[in-house]
Amino acid sequence: MIDLEVPRKFVPLVKQAAGMADEVFRPISRKYDLAEHEYPTELDLMSAVIDGLSDSGASQGAGATGSTRAADEPAGVGSGHKGKRAAANKNGANLSSVLSIMQTCRGDVGLTLSIPRQGLGNAAISAVANDEQKRRYGTRWAAMAITEPDVGSDSGAIRTTATKDGDEYVLNGEKIFVTAGDRAELVVVWATLDRALGKKAIKSFVVEKSNPGLRLDRLEHKLGIRASDTAAFSLQDCRVPARDLLGDPEIRTEGGFGGAMQTFDNTRPLVASMAVGLTRACLDLTSELLEKAGVIADPDRPLRTQQHAAARLLQMEADYEAAYLLTLRAAWMADNGKPNSMQASMAKAKAGRTCVNVALACVELCGAAGYAETELLEKWARDAKILDIFEGTQQIQLLVVARRLLGLSSSQLK
């Protein structure tokens, strides 16, 4: 059964990530917000630290690279499965990843997304790649390309095609809003083997940035997470070796999601953890600024007896706790081989929306200090919105949850 305390073996990792947020990320946060497409060279040292923790075993898989499906049970085994393995409690790479990301995102979400070899593409590789692929790609930085000009939340409508040609697949299409797309060494591209079959025919392919069929079209200018580069690509007769297809190459028409779609079960808790970390940062700074103004929230007193600002803070703390616990549950389930698609969407939906609401409310409560560049609240309010959008919008998460609760398919509930 899940333990709500941070596992003892993860305490050094959490402290290390917290120190990174306070001592490295926050001091340079505004600098790279203003210098949008400039690479934060300070992150090279951070990447080396994470690699060292992973190599030593102290991290249990810090960052996105550690996110993986539990090997103890295959995907699809329910919580009612009997046996010794089902009874054991495992606190593994998924839980350690969300705990560390929560801390680094207290410092800066964009910088967290810019740490080499910690991209969402790395999480996708960890989630669905075979052992040989993990060894081949394990030390390289991978971005993930899903969104297309006419395809956002509905991943099943992806138009980028993958056609088998001997020992290769030929990819054609466009991808936009690729996080870390310019800086990464690899791009995990989602493409369909058969458009008529929707999500079940979607596969993910690892494409080398040096591939002549992959062209970088532009870098985007954005509202938030400006320290992280966001790219648009074209794929024109992009030939990829068949061994670079992640997961099962066969189209399985029976059952639920294919391997590519199962990636979301691992990456959505990571994005939820980003939102939880940023929410924590907003609440801590707002509490500090209000305390200087004589407003102190007291959780032991009824809300009606406290100042309005104090009562708002306490209500937001409750939302934060809900998002935090949902995120831990989704990650813990992944570590223990339990199907977590609904829980991953619940965590992402709650954490993303909570982050946006809290960030904007904190700007409001702090007035001029919240709106000006003298504090990071202004920046955090801009950063927050993407956490309610990427890896599936708020609306899509609620749709996934509704389908799971009602036992309906995507064709039955749209």
pLDDT tens readout for residues 171-188: 999 999 999 999 999 999
Predicted confidence (pLDDT) at residue 28 exceeds the cutoff of 80: yes
Q: Which residue has the tokens 């074209």?
A: 234
First to last CA, the chain: 34
Q: Which residue has the tokens 């210098």?
A: 35
CA distances from 206 to 49, 118, 197, 297 (A): 26, 15, 22, 50
Residue 165 pLDDT level (bands cut at 50, 70, 90): very high
Predicted confidence (pLDDT) at residue 79 exceeds the cutoff of 70: no
Radius of gyration of the chain (CA): 21
Report, as an integer, the average pLDDT of 121-131: 89
List pLDDT tens digits, range 321-368.
999 999 999 999 999 999 999 999 999 999 999 999 999 999 999 999
pLDDT of residue 82: 42
Q: Which two tokens stand for residue 301?
A: 């007193």
* Higher-confidence position of 324 and 153: 324
Predicted TM-score of the model (pTM):
0.91
List pLDDT tens digits, range 211-234.
999 999 999 999 999 999 999 999
- C-alpha 85/C-alpha 73 separation (Å) is 8
The answer to whether 269 and 348 have CB atoms below 8 angstroms apart is yes
Domains of the chain (ranges; CATH) run 8-137 (1.10.540), 142-246 (2.40.110.10), 259-406 (1.20.140.10)
Residue 391 appears among annotated catalytic residues: yes
CA distances from 148 to 232, 257, 385 (A): 9, 20, 20
What dihedral angle (degrees, nearest 10) is formed by the CA atoms of 211, 212, 218, 224? Answer: 0
pLDDT of residue 55: 57
- Range of 91-95, 248-252, 287-291 with top mean pLDDT: 287-291
pLDDT of residue 52: 63
Closest to 128 (Cα-Cα) out of 285, 272, 257, 306:
257
The answer to whether 94 and 292 have CB atoms below 8 angstroms apart is no
Predicted confidence (pLDDT) at residue 139 exceeds the cutoff of 90: no
Query: Where is average pLDDT lowest: 74-88, 246-260, 307-321, 337-351?
Result: 74-88
User: Of the residues 148, 174, 375, 391, which is catalytic?
Assistant: 391
Percent of the chain at pLDDT above 70? 89
Predicted confidence (pLDDT) at residue 275 exceeds the cutoff of 60: yes
Report, as an integer, the average pLDDT of 136-160: 90
What dihedral angle (degrees, nearest 10) is formed by the CA atoms of 36, 209, 113, 15? Answer: -130
pLDDT of residue 85: 47
Cβ neighbour number for residue 132 with a 10 Å cutoff: 9
pLDDT of residue 84: 45
Report, as an integer, the average pLDDT of 265-286: 97
- C-alpha 49/C-alpha 54 separation (Å) is 9
